[in-house]
Amino acid sequence: MSDITEIVDNLENRISKLLHRHELLKQEMQSIQEEMTAVQSENTWLKGELERSNNQIKDLKAANAMLGSNDYKKETKLKINSLIREIDQCIVQLSE
């Protein structure tokens, strides 16, 4: 009978350890999920910053070309032509 008692005690001990390990893993998973959410939020913010920086670079290149720099004249002319076409489209729509 004592063998059965030992087996039951051993099983109870193992189950207790498994339950404890399960709780630790749940807490670790929650911590990792919170960290992942924070990283995703930071990633979104950094993508926005990158987009704003790229737009600022384009604007600065255009301004530099308008100030007489030959490096970005072609890009600036293309941008101006694009803006003129958009304005012409707006005028056509308004006149209809």
For residue range 77-95, what is the model confidence (pLDDT) as tens digits?
A: 787 888 899 999 999 998 8
Hey, how many other C-beta atoms are within 10 angstroms of the C-beta on 2? 6
Greater pLDDT, 44 or 73? 44
Greater pLDDT, 11 or 2? 11
Ordered alpha helix ranges (H), the chain: 2-66, 73-95
Residue 50 has pLDDT above 80, yes or no: yes
The arithmetic mean of pLDDT across residues 2-16, rounded, is 91
The tally of CA atoms less than 13 A away on the side-chain side of residue 46 is 6
Q: Is 69 left (phi over 0), alpha (psi -120 to 50) or beta?
A: beta
Residue type at position 31: S
Residue 71 has pLDDT above 70, yes or no: no
